[in-house]
Amino acid sequence: MVAWKRQLILFGGFHESTRDYIYYNDVYAFNLDTFTWSKLSPSGTGPTPRSGCQMSVTPQGGIIVYGGYSKQRVKKDVDKGTRHSDMFLLKPEDGREDKWVWTRMNPSGVRPTPRSGFSVAMAPNHQTLFFGGVCDEEEEESLAGEFFNDLYFYDATRNRWFEGQLKGPKSEKKKRRRGRREEPEGGSKLACGGTGTQAPVEVVKEVVAEDGTVVTIKQVLAAPGSAGQPQSEDEDSLEEAGSPTPGPCPRSNAMLAVKHGVLYVYGGMFEAGDRQVTLSDLHCLDLHRMEAWKALVEMDPETQEWLEETDSEEDSEEVEGAEGGDEDEDEDSGEESGVED
């Protein structure tokens, strides 16, 4: 949902029950003056039914709908998921607010790889910023996900994607020029492909659970300037770029906000084997400088709480017990409220 002038525009979504599910691609508008809903019927070919897509308002007054996820049943008890990576523009037709039209967009530039669970915020210059997400590889009885922590910008004015590349702090560039063979400093465990080269850097973080289990978070960072924007022909350009500074580890469903040109990324989740890890760290990045991430709040491993799964029979018993308890509590609360009245 996005705010557009004096209306809220809502698109898509899904409903799932124990027996079936359904995905939507309808459009509704909520008028902020009359507090009433109305269903829009845009002309043109719009997105297929989906949930989890992201929307943003363009400087020209249109609405971009990108990505999303949907699934369909291929055979009994077997569903196939689809990660959508298409983009559509929804805009008023001929300037009329009561008549809308869909247009499929084909942006140029370096676009994100297919994924779901990515997060969106409005960056400076009216660009839409995309961060992170997960690409699930689904099989009939297993699900494995590759998580991301990369940045992409969509410029609606030029209809073009840009990959966010960090330049590295200026002080690091000078240090790198004077001593090209120095090992990178810092407490993180770094595995570099060689000194003085633009090899990827692997950052390893360890989280210790209450039961003593060690979960390893591996993050591979591409060298600055290795993708997206073309390299400079200056001979010193490769040597000036310092080692990339570790930022948020790969994750999906993070919270994003931009204030005064600074991007804030909070939380999210990732998977380590059969375990889902909920994150509580907070990072920021100056979008004007694009030099390095800054950790405002580190994740404290001791605050992690592992919730073990139980058998389905136990789950059903707990649910029944919980439902019974709710009824008793409702009756008790009703009696108490009656006495108080």
Q: Please write the tens of the pLDDT for every residue from 193-245.
A: 333 444 555 556 666 555 556 666 655 555 444 444 444 444 333 334 445 45
How many other β-carbons are positioned within 10 Å of the β-carbon of residue 236? Answer: 11
Cα–Cα dist 285/304, whole Å: 25
Most confidently modeled of 80-84, 133-137, 141-145, 269-273? 80-84
Indicate the SS3 state at residue 253.
Answer: coil
Cα–Cα dist 278/249, whole Å: 12
Q: Is 13 exposed, middle or buried (0-12, 13-18, 19+ CB in 10 A)?
A: middle
pTM over 0.85: no
pLDDT of residue 73: 87
Output the DSSP codes for 163-227: E------HHHHHHHHH-TTPPPPSSSEEEES-TTS---EEEEEEEE-TTSPEEEEEEEEPPTTSS
Over residues 250-298, the pLDDT tens digits come to 999 999 999 999 999 999 998 877 788 899 999 999 999 999 999 999 9
Indicate the SS3 state at residue 53.
Answer: coil
CATH 3.40.50.460 fits 1-106, yes or no: no
Over residues 20-59, the pLDDT tens digits come to 899 999 999 999 999 999 999 999 999 999 999 999 999 9
Residue 164 has pLDDT above 80, yes or no: yes
The domain limits of the chain are 1-106, 108-167+246-307
Cα–Cα dist 69/65, whole Å: 12
Cα–Cα dist 251/218, whole Å: 11
CATH 2.120.10.80 fits 108-167+246-307, yes or no: yes
pLDDT of residue 300: 74
Q: Average per-residue pLDDT in the chain?
A: 77
Question: For 308, phi and psi rounded to 5 degrees?
Answer: -75, 145
Instruction: Name 85's Cβ contacts closer than 8 Å, sequence gap at least 6.
Output: 66, 67, 111, 112, 114
**Side chain identity at residue 119, one-letter code:** S
Which is nearest to 78 in space by CA: 142, 13, 144, 12?
142
| Percent of the chain surpassing pLDDT 90 | 49
pLDDT of residue 204: 61
Which is nearest to 246 in space by CA: 182, 328, 187, 196?
187
Cα–Cα dist 174/196, whole Å: 14
Cα–Cα dist 114/257, whole Å: 23
